[in-house]
Amino acid sequence: MENRRCWLFGATRRRTLRCNGPGLALLALAAELARSGLHQAIEGGDRGSVRTVWTHFTASQLRRRHMNDHQGLSRRHVLGMAIAAGGFALASPARSVFAQALNRTPGEILGPFYPVLRSVEKTADLTTVPGKPGRAAGQVIYVMGRVLNVQGQPVKGARVELWQANTHGRYVHPSDANPAPLDPNFEGFAIQDADAEGRYRFKTIKPGAYPVNANWMRPPHLHFEVTGKLNRVITQMYFPGESLNDKDLLLQNIRANKDGLIAKVLPPTSDVEPDSRLVVWDIVLDKG
């Protein structure tokens, strides 16, 4: 029997299956089942590093070991093919293959303006500065969501740090040379711990866009560092419908789960300011 091969190319950026010979639909199914576990195995690290791996398997060997005929496969056989195709070990098949329903949040760079001067007090309200009577200028938003693992389980007590530019697009940072004005009532940093259900909630203002150079304007975004018990992610959250999103070099460089960085904006509820907005965004860690 002719020995035909299928090649599985996997990466955080791209995955394709190239095959020839019979039984391709079954092999493609096995590769699809392997994808979530393979993604976890190859991506490694919590900074969203991109590493390309490839593995190959022999179609004739898989058919001999996992198929009685070309008409049907048992669930056990399909799982066996998935393991062979993905090249990873399953500690728990149900957890690693069938239950991995969420894509983890992509990592992004820390950025040049991580706060160096900030209050050590944990707070969830960025619209005021302790000891000052004023309120930060700009559109009030309530940023909220949950910290979860890829299985959808809450990450209890995850530390959530947020920092951002003010409504004019300037950071409270000595290295920010943007000529836009500072806001005396806005420091742009807050930190809190997620509750038992993984929930977090900040009150802040929508940041402004700002220039990186003559050819690049960064869209409004929030920076996050989230630390769970096992994993940490440094990332950025973006607002939907912003024209600058499509031109942003950092956002457009994301190849896996780019949509996972875009929040949902909803009308205010009765318990918040009527002109505010709710910004809903879940953060997904690998294991939590």
Mind listing the pLDDT tens digit for each residue in 151-170? 999 999 999 999 999 999 99
**Mind telling me the catalytic residues?**
171, 210, 218, 221, 223
pLDDT value of residue 20: 43
Q: Does the structure show a pLDDT above 90 at 123?
A: no
Q: What percent of the chain has pLDDT over 70?
A: 63
Q: Does the structure show a pLDDT above 50 at 215?
A: yes
pTM score above 0.85: no
Mind listing the pLDDT tens digit for each residue in 6-64? 333 333 333 434 444 444 343 343 444 344 333 333 333 343 333 333 333 333 433 44
Beta carbons within 10 angstroms of residue 75's beta carbon: 9
Q: Which of 16-30, 215-229, 244-258 has the lowest mean pLDDT?
A: 16-30
